[in-house]
Amino acid sequence: MEKLQSFIDLFERNSILVEHNCDENVQIENISYNSREITENTLFFCKGAHFKEQFLRDAINKGAVAYVSIQKYDVDAPCIIVLDIRKALYSTANFFYKNAWDKLNLIGITGTKGKSTTAYYIKSILDEYLADNNRKESGLASTLEIYDGIVRKPSTLTTPEPFELHKHFDNAVKSGTEFFTMEVSSQALKYGRTEGVNFKIGCYLNIGIDHISANEHPDFEDYFTSKMKLFTQCDTAVINLDSDLSERVVECSRNAKKVVTFSTKNPQADIYGYNIHKDNSETVFSVKTDKFECEFRLSMPGLFNVENALCAIGVAYVLGISPEHIYNGLYKSKTEGRMEIYESENKKVAVIVDYAHNKLSFETIISSMKKEYKGRPVSILFGCPGNKALVRRQGMAEVSGEMADFVYITEDDPAEERIEDICNEIAGYIDGVGGKDKYKIIYDRETAIKTAIEDVRDTAVIILAGKGAETHQKRGLVSEDYESDAVLAIKYLKEYDERQKK
């Protein structure tokens, strides 16, 4: 519990206080910007492009005792006016939760692709080590789920907003959690969701063109420099020497106190991966460091996952975790919706469910499937979300048109944008590289999956990209139930199997 004066002083120290008309002695027990989650003695923050004065009125009616905003509203309530609401949010989160992150071994991961898989690899390694030492399971904040030692739930953002994020840190500390791994998006770095937080280890995976739009990053340079901010907020940087712009990344990483590198191409890297090959459905590779040299094995398919595994090994290397715990953690790691393979009974049809959702991940997964299923035609099924990441449409369309044997264009959270417009835009880009015979447009995603499997004439690899394990479709302003790509793959492969028996 803090007095309101403490927050006024905080904003003044941060040079964002404009004015206030508050009783400084009022006690604050809660902070929130969600009018549906107000308790007594809440300090309410007015934020967001879609903020309405009615939200503030609702918050006051439920127990908010004052509000923080960049403007005054016509409501009967004390207010604190600030210059920068984002700065007010992250400074308040750090202050209210007393820098809980500083009591954790906090690991942050950024990159255009592979963040979730890497986060799960790291968590699995940590949990092997912790279980062997009778210590508590590690925490996680990923695109897929949150676990903070108290709360385990599905995620809504790759990186939570400051109030939620610091609450998770606080829960982790209170529950005795020692290690916490999280994905750090470019948006989180740009807009201050992690401002004021310092990571014990900051990981950089790769960079590709993504998240370029009026509502995200105006251009690639802004996207790149946003990701590089992670190196100003970490003690040790673990970086991928094989990434595009690696020379610039290496230069930026010098902002960290220590740098550990990984690579499959440069034997001088601190973590060098080599002799990468398939063993049935598993991936085997060797790693050389100055501490150990041994072989590791991934049960999760996809040769490209070696890069993610090397990053996780780099984290374990920094933390001094043994090769045995690394081996077991990597092998046991599973990520729902990531490279899940479903096959027909005759093994002629393989359906791959994956979250791939940008140009770089499309290039990686299509090329990998062509190597792993040599001689089989590879088709890909995907859509694009409405009103965001607009630059993805051209990149994903052109890569699929050039690299895949066939494309099924369908829905993927069209939201308030017309599904017809999204699909036709994607098709237009494919026309330029593959022609109209290269694709089908099927608006309903379930029907598209069914059709892709029914179209198989001999052997096939069908990549269902974008939604992974998600069980909803955002259509208009409503999030509607969806069975998930995995459930539908199983359903229509079963129908395929029945047809083969006739």
**398: closest CA among 364, 368, 432, 366?**
432
Are 352 and 479 within one domain? yes
Using 50 as the pLDDT threshold, list the residues of the chain that sit under it: none
Are 24 and 51 within one domain? yes
pLDDT at position 309, please? Answer: 97
Tell me the three state secondary structure of residue 19. strand
**189: closest CA among 231, 239, 226?**
226
Range of the domain at 264: 100-332
Q: What is the CATH number of the domain that holds 453?
A: 3.90.190.20
Are 380 and 484 within one domain? yes
Are 490 and 364 within one domain? yes
Tell me the three state secondary structure of residue 172. helix
Are 29 and 55 within one domain? yes
Q: Which helix (H) or strand (E) holds 64?
A: strand 64-69
Are 325 and 369 within one domain? no
pLDDT at position 212, please? Answer: 67
Look at the chain and report how many structural domains it folds into.
3
Q: What is the CATH number of the domain that holds 245?
A: 3.40.1190.10
Are 316 and 462 within one domain? no
Question: Residues 49-98: pLDDT tens digits?
Answer: 789 999 999 999 999 999 999 999 999 999 999 999 999 999 999 999 99
CA–CA distance, 206 with 151 (Å, rounded to integer)? 30
CB 334 within 8 A of CB 299: yes
Are 204 and 58 within one domain? no
CA–CA distance, 313 with 128 (Å, rounded to integer)? 13
Q: How far apart, in Å, are the Cα atoms of 500 and each of 237, 374, 456, 463?
A: 53, 23, 11, 21
Q: How far apart, in Å, are the Cα atoms of 138 and each of 104, 130, 182, 269, 352?
A: 10, 8, 11, 28, 29
Question: Residues 309-362: pLDDT tens digits?
Answer: 999 999 999 999 999 999 999 999 988 788 899 999 999 999 999 999 889 899
pLDDT at position 338, please? Answer: 83
**143: closest CA among 371, 354, 348?**
354
Residue whose entry in the numeric block shows the structure tokens 């609450």: 167
The long-range contacts involving 40-47, CB below 8 angstroms and separated by at least 24 positions, are 41/1, 41/65, 43/4, 43/7, 43/67, 43/68, 43/92, 44/68, 45/69, 45/85, 45/88, 45/89, 45/92, 46/70, 46/71, 46/73, 46/85, 47/85, 47/86, 47/89
Are 344 and 325 within one domain? no
Are 244 and 378 within one domain? no
96, 116, 137 - which closes a domain: 96
pLDDT at position 339, please? Answer: 86
For the stretch 297-333, what's the b/e string if a residue is b when 16 or more beta carbons lie within 10 angstroms of its beta carbon?
ebebbbbbbbbbbbbbbbbbbbbebebebbbbbbeeb
342 beta partners: 351
Chain-centre distance for alpha carbon 146: 11
Q: What is the CATH number of the domain that holds 54?
A: 3.40.1390.10
Predicted TM-score of the model (pTM): 0.84
207 beta partners: none
CB 465 within 8 A of CB 363: no
Tokens standing for residue 84: 């920068």
Are 296 and 376 within one domain? no
40, 62, 96 - which closes a domain: 96
71, 96, 121 - which closes a domain: 96
Are 465 and 382 within one domain? yes
